[in-house]
Amino acid sequence: MSSEEDRGSLISSVRGRLCVLCGIGFALVYALRVNLSIAIVAMTKPIPQPLNNDTRCPMPPPSNSSNQGDFDWDAETQGKVLGAFFYGYVSTQILGGILADKYGAVNLLAGGLFCTSFFSLFTEVAARQGPWWLFALRLIEGLGEGVTFPAAASFWTRWSLPEERARLMGLSLAGSQIGNVLGIPLTGLIADNWGWPSVFYWFGAVGCLWCIAFFIYARNDPNDCPWISPEEKRLLVKSRPANRQEKRPIPWKKVFTCQPLLALAVAHASFNWGFYVLFTCLPKYMKEVLGFDLKHNAYYSALPYLTIWVFMNVSTQIGDYLLKKEIVRKLTVRKLFNTLSTFIPAILFTFIPFFGCDGISVVILICVCCMFKSGHYASVNVNHSDLAPPFTGLLFGITNMFANVPGILAPMLVGSFTKEESTIFTWSRVWYVSAAIYTFGALFYLVFGKAEVQPWARKKQRTSTNSESEESDDTNQNDRQPLLASA
């Protein structure tokens, strides 16, 4: 089978079907995560605002909809409930990476999403018991979902060829942005027509069905798959790096003292700060400051994620092209795309308060910001496999753990800044703090980021001569390796 035939057969291959199935799964992962950000607009009663305030936009007349809010939760309580998911989510990142690298990813992917989907069905019951019951439920949902992304990073090292890894990983994880694009407006539509509890019953049930389908069809390794063709199995097994076949102990001390990994974690966390400010708090800004109703809030909140989805595929394709043609070094690609994905959004965030009550212009500005943010998927978010291919899942778990702490802190900060009043002025502090964090992360990665295999991750050889030769070959090959996109 020729190389061209191999690439042409991707659409009809088992790994191609797994890519589609994983894409649907990650759409559900993010839909289950983001639905509360929109639903809480319908769940809670409006927060009283000062009558005379020049930095507050005119509000539309009250809607005739019956969805006027069941709960009288203040801004701080809402921020804590929105951040609860991430307490659990950060707790299982490292464990998920270790288990996926050692035992395979299928059970983790299916089991993690099933946990989130199943407990989502009890959201109404928990919310009516009180905000802290809902806090505990969302924390449990986060525990399950925390293993999914590290597991995916490990899964595609077994189920993809090096030259197609960026596309398969990127396309499957692009489903996460589709989950936002579809999940946000669907949440608004369902909540407005059938009440906010229906949101969680619907997404929870669909998520459970996906888990059953994935568990039946997917396998941890091509060798264990009964419906894969002999040609595709041979192709995947032959292309697998030899050092992934070995059971290697984890060099914990070297991992946690690795300076490039620290730079990666800082950049990942700073990027996610801005992401989660938009992810969890943008619907709140649109409702309380810009005055959008539930339907328009949901539609406009989805547009930034549609922008990310489109341009994340563009950025990974450009990154692959630059590496395949050897136009620039891998480190240059990583730092270039990370700079674009952080410095420019930092500048744009500072412009948001100056647009005042012009909601459409604010949405357009945020979409432009997200266009540049998509460069993250060709830089920091794929850097783990550059540093230590045998420990990709573990490294992703470590950085993703720290990177999702902003999911806890961002809603709390917004709740603290807007506790007394939610206005353009109080929100301007949110945008300025986010811009500063973006800038710090970008500069730190520019100085300390690396893209070569670390010495502790290279395969050890019996003789020093062979070791020097193979280590040099590994480094050169890694510098030419296409993107391993993850999210």
**Domain map (residue ranges) of the chain:** 13-47+69-456+465-480
- 13-47+69-456+465-480 is classed in which CATH architecture? Up-down Bundle (1.20)
User: Rounded CA gap, 483 and 322, in Å?
Assistant: 10
Check: CB of residue 408 under 8 Å from CB of residue 371.
no
Over residues 22-30, mean pLDDT: 92
User: Rounded CA gap, 253 and 122, in Å?
Assistant: 42
Over residues 351-367, mean pLDDT: 91
How many beta carbons lie within 10 A of that of residue 412, not counting itself?
14
Of the candidate ranges 150-164, 247-261, 296-310, 373-387, the one whose mean pLDDT is the lowest: 150-164
- According to DSSP, the residues that pair with 44 across neighbouring strands are 71
Q: Check residues 123 and 248 and name the one with the higher pLDDT.
A: 123
All residues at 6 or more sequence positions from 52 whose CB lies less than 8 Å from its CB, including other chains: none
Q: Which pair of structure tokens corresponds to residue 434?
A: 């986010």
CB-count burial class (<10 Å; 0-12, 13-18, 19+) for 325:
exposed
The answer to whether residue 54 scores a pLDDT higher than 60 is no
Over residues 297-303, mean pLDDT: 81
Check: CB of residue 101 under 8 Å from CB of residue 74.
no
User: Rounded CA gap, 414 and 280, in Å?
Assistant: 10
Over residues 407-433, mean pLDDT: 87
Which of these, 200, 279, 208, 203, lies nearest to 42 by C-alpha position?
200
Global model pTM greater than 0.85: no
Give the three-class secondary structure for 71: strand
Largest interatomic CA distance in the chain? 79
Q: How far is CA 79 from CA 148, 216, 283, in A?
A: 24, 38, 12
